[in-house]
Amino acid sequence: MNALLHLWNHLSQGAQDTVIGGLVLAALAALGNFFKERIFATFKRLTARQPSEPPAPSPPPIPRPPVASFVPRLDHENRDILEQLKQELAPAKNQLVVLWGPGGVGKTALAAESARAFKDIAGQRVVWASAENRADFSLNILLDEIAAQLGRSDLRRLSRDSKAEEIRTAIAPAPTLVVLDNFETISLGEQVDCANWLRKEAPCPALITTREKIEQAHNIPVDSMSSTEAASLLDLLIGQAGNSRAFEGLSRENIIHVADANPLVLQWVVGQIDLAQDPRSTLADLAKGKGDAAERIFLHSYNLPQLGDDGRSTLLALSLFVPGASRAALADVAGFDADVGRLNQSLKRLASLRLVNSAQKGDYFVVEGLTRELARSRLLQHEMPERFQQRFVAFFLRFAREHRQDVDALEAEKDDVLAALDMASELADWLSVAAIGDIIADPVDGVLAARGYWDQATRAAELYLQAARNSQNESGIAGRAQNLAIIYQRRGNFADARRLYEEALAIREKRRDSEGEARVLGDLGLLEEAEENFDRARQLAEKSFEIKKELGDQVLIGNSLHQLGRLAYVQRDLAGAESFFQQSLEAYTVAADRRGIGASLQGLGAVELNQGRHGQAREHLGGSLSIAKNIKDQEAIADNLNLLGDLDEKEGNRDEAARQIREALRIYERLKSPSAESARRSLQRIGHRKQPPRDDLAAPGK
């Protein structure tokens, strides 16, 4: 043993990896010489660090100031709207303020200007969330946005109510402003939930931009510009025009009238006059027709010969993205393939007409809310709108496949990947729905579950199960029903989880799919265990184990052995539990399965703790804790801390025991784990020597 320890010390020099130190020492204590050799044979694989949760992303940029600079706005009573926002959004008032009015009148510009003022002057934290072009936007997603921008992405994994409570705690320490833009695009039920939470629950001021008033909020109307405001904006726009001489001799009052004093429409009018060979004739044409000025002027811009088919294709393609697109993605969806020069020419024309703007140093292109709405309407009237949608789906399917192992890249584009999933469903393209769903909706490795986007994970899993049903693919139905069942089970929806597990099991049995049957039986056993039906859980685990032994897959064997060990442990058969955990550790070690090794070490440590073998227990629990920290498994970290706290208490180290259990309790409370109550009881009984076996051992995974 000393020689092996010396070898370990030599191997670990410079690695600074406490995970493997704890792992190897614990495993060496548990295994015979045969498995010692296998541990060292897999040293390099085990020392490879797992991808970590990325650092909290920087808050998405507040929309850039208007191209023509910000023009101060007055309300109907000649009060400065920006000054009102500064006063009404003061932290002491802690109220919901609503900027409401028609599309294009400058609500987002006012909200962005007030957000910048609060950051620069008051030093407040600003959270900016937009619901634009996000069909699934909900209160849960708003909470996710707030959590991420406050550096608490870990909160996404919680239920909505628990998440809301934790976010209130995260907001409280510092002045914060939450802005929710394009509120009118949210479904009515979720509108109510979002507004109520911001008005009643959020411990900070909040600002919403929308097209209708919101009851029981401080509403500030925003309408078309006054003649003075419009004249100021027009002067700025003409000053930036490529051909300012085109406006000589034109009535500025007439230009403003044609645009209905709407600042966005005014930009479109100026863009058209700037490009016109005959400005007078162009202005006269723009004045013709009846109906809404925005629709009339946009349609005129859209049909201009100067825009060309490529410009129109680019605009239609851009309307599909959430909220904007990179050059490569936009060229592909517009139908230009890799011809970036062709794309650049079309973007130049669109920018001249003020129909598109760029962000992030010109590499990312967006359209404003009203522009997007009108462009999407034109897309629906296009002779073949499905071509744009098919290219969008194909691009993000390729993207998802190419970045299957890159969770960070998938997370960065998750909204567009989800949009592609929805679009494929609308097109009845079930193969693409299944392919995208298989990548992003896996309950263990998929980006949505891995990063805690549970609402989106559920919806994606439901869609790709429906795709399998529509394709009448029995094997696909079984696998996707099982995955959705796992998600339901994790969210506490046991009834639907059971129904889907049983459907999957019936299909696996019918098809004589032994491995699939064994997996479903194991998952059903976990469900029975969660509902404390331990005898039934053991029967299922044993049946699953027998099938897995015939298959010879060491990870599957380890899963069943660990499950049987947990069941023996909670029923206080400590000798049986130790045997099962020992065997599961051997199986996981052969397979070099890090998560399983950590879970088995924890199981052995728990047994030894309750048998009074404190030295071995500390060694095994320490190794398990190191692995849990390395793979960032918060619940396993808490379980090990809780057990180590019990161990310290038994050895009379009460201060250290209380410290570790309090740390575990904080994690349990953050995760809303039922084990929190057990940790509270442990704190209360510090000083008492006699304790029953614990029942909060971690499961090794799917």
Q: What does the angle CA 442 – CA 497 – CA 504 come to, to the nearest 5 degrees?
A: 75
pLDDT tens-digit series, residues 568-610? 998 899 999 999 999 999 999 999 999 999 999 999 999 999 9
Contact 525, 702 (CB under 8 A): no
pLDDT at 699: 56
Please tell me what DSSP assigns to residue 127: E
pLDDT at 478: 95
Tokens of 6: 């010396």
pLDDT at 693: 45
**What amino acid occupies position 410?**
L
Average pLDDT value for the chain: 85
pLDDT at 8: 33
pLDDT tens-digit series, residues 202-214? 999 999 999 999 9
Query: What is the rounded average pLDDT of the residues 612-623?
Result: 94
| Residue 211 burial (10 A CB sphere; 0-12, 13-18, 19+) | middle
- CA separation, residue 120 to residues 93, 115, 125, 564 (Å): 19, 9, 10, 59
- For residue 471, the tally of other CB atoms under 10 A from its CB is 14
Instruction: Spell out the residues 6+ positions from residue 532 whose beta carbon is closer than 8 angstroms to its own.
Output: none
pLDDT of 1 higher than 50: no
CATH topology of domain 2-49+526-684: 1.25.40
CATH topology of domain 81-221: Rossmann fold (3.40.50)
pLDDT at 61: 66
Across-strand partners of 127? Answer: 178
pLDDT tens-digit series, residues 115-143? 988 877 656 789 999 998 787 899 999 99
For 607-623, b/e burial (b = at least 16 CB within 10 A) is bbbbeebeebbbbbbbb
Higher pLDDT, 397 or 174: 397
Query: What is the rounded average pLDDT of the residues 659-674?
Result: 81
Query: What is the rounded average pLDDT of the residues 537-559?
Result: 92
Please tell me what DSSP assigns to residue 65: P
Query: What is the rounded average pLDDT of the residues 331-337?
Result: 94
Residue-by-residue DSSP string for 549-592: HHHT-HHHHHHHHHHHHHHHHHTT-HHHHHHHHHHHHHHHHHHT
Extents of the domains making up the chain: 2-49+526-684, 81-221, 227-302
pLDDT tens-digit series, residues 475-503? 999 999 999 999 999 888 899 999 999 99
How many angstroms separate the CA atoms of 447 and 405, rounded?
9
Question: pTM of this prediction?
Answer: 0.76
